[in-house]
A and B are shown apart, each in its own frame.
Chain A
Amino acid sequence: MGTRGELRVVGAVAAGGALGATARYGAALLWPTPVHAFPWTTLTVNAAGCAALGVLMVLLTETRIRVAPHPLLRPFLGTGFCGGFTTFSTYALDTRRLLEAGDPARGLLYLGATLLTALAAVWAGGAVTRAVVPVRVTPT
């Protein structure tokens, strides 16, 4: 890929990331988390972004699509949008906040529940997509 192509990919990642982060910010405004509450919104955002990435990656890499996907689709939607929508830093900071708030059980619950939900979501997103979209077959 030339410099020009590389710049287009970086631009697609930046645009997708800006949209994803805006969506996450919007979710936080719609469903704000009180200071000492369990961060349901961030957990849900992270799980939803993982499910979306699971669907997208199977669609782009495993399924038979008549038209080849646009080369900027993966950087825009996957690396950009899903990456910008989900967050690891807020997860880490919120876990620390819960652990410090004198209730370590909730902190550990949040730590583990996010991890399990996210892994299950990315797996389920891919599995459901494989089940409903025709899987790529080797050309005869």
Chain B
Amino acid sequence: MERTAIHRRVEWRTATVVERRKETDSASTLELHVAGWPGHDAGQHVDVRLTAADGYTAVRTYSIASAPDGDNLELTIELLPDGEVSPYLVESVAPGSPVDVLGPIGGWFVWHPEQTEPIQLIAGGSGIVPLMCMLRTRAQHNVTAPFHLLYSVRGPESIYYADELARLAAADFGAAITFAYTRTAPPNWPAKPQRVRAELIATAALPASQHPTAYVCGPTAFVEVVAGMLTQAGYDASRIKTERFGPTGK
């Protein structure tokens, strides 16, 4: 594995929620203002710390969705119905609220605009978030190297950033985007709803002969299966980067 630079010291900063907007029925995007935000690489994450009135705190990790943009940062959070933190962030947190943010964190699951090789992105559900940051950063830097996205969702209503993804696909040197529907496909969709399978990797992912780097992100089981299929398809294991969204192993 490659060596990377030792990263700068991270510190807790107080962020202010600027806006909370619905992404889907069960996910919201939070725009945060973080004074002195040092910028981030596409794929990095932050720790978010919430403090209750009596001082009790809870910390969870969230990938950064937005391309670097001064002191503003966007996160997209999926609601886990019995979760401690996500229901509050998705449904309750109000603009103006302070939350603490530590980061940016992570120097491995990142894409740099200087990379010239073709990129295969594979997302399961909220695993799209860090990959969206890569797509946005690519657009921001006018990178023309091929980007393919395979995005597995339950149904059309669970797609995050749907309009923007369509624009990113239609732009000059647009990203090629394939959706895989696991529960409900849109009308006239050529395939039955199903989980991502090796046949789909074979048709929708960049061929191994192009030596792509792959970024795979989603629930643990999804990442485990997809990374295995990519290896089977001939991808170089050292060029498959994975991020598994905890906490559950299911």
The answer to whether A and B interact is no
On B, residues with C-beta under 8 Å from A are none
Interface residues of A (CB under 8 A from B): none
